[in-house]
Amino acid sequence: MIYDKLGKTGLKVSKLCFGSLTLGPLQANLSIEKAAELISLASDKGLNFIDTADLYGNYEHIRQGLKRSRNNWIISSKSYDYDKKGMEASLEKARREMDRDVIDIFMLHETESEHTIRGHWDAVDYLLEQKIKGTIKAVGVSTHRVEGVLGALKFDEIEVIHPIFNYKGLGIEDGDARSMEEALRKACSLGKGIFAMKPLGGGNLISTRTKAFEYLKDKHYVNSVAIGMQSEDELEYNCSMIQGEAIPDDISKSTADKTRSLHIDSWCNGCRSCVNVCGQNALIIKDGKAEVNKEKCILCGYCSASCPQFCIKVV
């Protein structure tokens, strides 16, 4: 496995980051046993970096995976909290449920711009206190926006950026691949650690996945790439791709048709809760029910978490 320094954080992370959203209830909903097995296998393959979130509901999957792994993991989590009280509860929950004294990186989830960071400063302040105490090592932001990256550059305290980034710019809410690239170059020159998400645009780029990997692999300013995985073959494929190794035919075939999509159950009552949380404007209400525009959907699963009827799944 290839490793890189995550900016100035002092952390050395595997170039492939285990995106754990896929494991939990918002996506594949693997059994704890199966998820833990996959995490431990990833550790054997040299991965040492895993990304999760308060929203993903998969801390138990990760806890069991960490217990089984032979090597140490660097954990990144995030939450939407905007004040000290909320952030304290989220960090404590992460520590308790993953059974870890230290969560290496804790981030503000889905930052839109410098204004979001200022508006969440009470929560950031709390995380900075925790950094001094040693319960976290770095504070970061995740973002789907170029303005989210540029906003983070205004704060020395924000050391890690987790942006959406792929060659087509899918999911970037306020720009394209080129404008994100410029923002990330700036971020790198200021010493920010960068780990990208959605290299395959939530599965939309699976038919051009070689190109999608090549695009990110060559970007020196991207220290690591988080990819969602839910099977041994996907893990094998992603490890080989990120290291520029030949892909065995059987692995290439078995992973090629693993396209995912958003499924909305028939008992949807059209409440619009999902429409309101989708930053990609991929959902509309038609004839009293939610409907997804597959070309816009990046399978982030956030709508699923917001549905009071539990009728959205990524399958």
Residues counted in the chain: 315
Residue from 274, 295, 313, 315 in contact with ligand SF4 (CB under 6 A): 274
Instruction: Kindly write out the interface string for residues 187-216 of this chain, putting x where it contacts ligand SF4 by CB under 6 A and - elsewhere.
Output: ------------------------------
Query: Which window, 27-35, 59-67, 246-254, 290-298, contacts ligand SF4 (CB under 6 A)?
Result: 290-298
307 in contact with ligand SF4 (CB under 6 A)? yes
Binding residue for ligand SF4 (CB under 6 A) from 19, 148, 203, 301? 301
d(CA 293, CA 273): 16
Taking the C-alpha atoms of residue 276 and residue 266, their distance in angstroms, rounded to an integer, is 19
**Contact partners, residue 152, CB within 8 Å, separation at least 6:** 111, 114, 117, 140, 141, 143, 158, 161, 187, 192
Residue 41: its H or E element? helix 32-44
30, 264, 287, 295: residue in contact with ligand SF4 (rule CB under 6 A): 264
Check binding of 298 to ligand SF4 (CB under 6 A): yes
Stretch that binds ligand SF4, among 48-56, 91-99, 222-230, 306-314 (CB under 6 A): 306-314
> Six-digit token pair at 74?
């660097």
Task: Give me the 151-180 binding string for ligand SF4, x by CB under 6 A, dash otherwise.
Answer: ------------------------------
Q: Which two tokens stand for residue 29?
A: 């909903």
- Note whether 9 and 137 are within 8 A (CB): yes
Q: Which stretch binds ligand SF4 (CB under 6 A): 56-64, 207-215, 242-250, 266-274?
A: 266-274
Contact segment (CB under 6 A) with ligand SF4 among 38-46, 54-62, 146-154, 278-286 equals: 278-286
Options 263, 269, 284, 295; binder of ligand SF4; rule CB under 6 A: 269
Residue 212 CB burial class (10 angstroms; 0-12, 13-18, ≥19): buried
CA dist., res. 112 & res. 209, Å (int): 28
Tokens of 35: 């998820």
Structure tokens at 197: 């998400």
Which residues are near ligand SF4 by CB under 6 A?
A: 262, 264, 268-274, 277-278, 280, 282-283, 290, 292, 297-303, 306-307, 309, 311-312
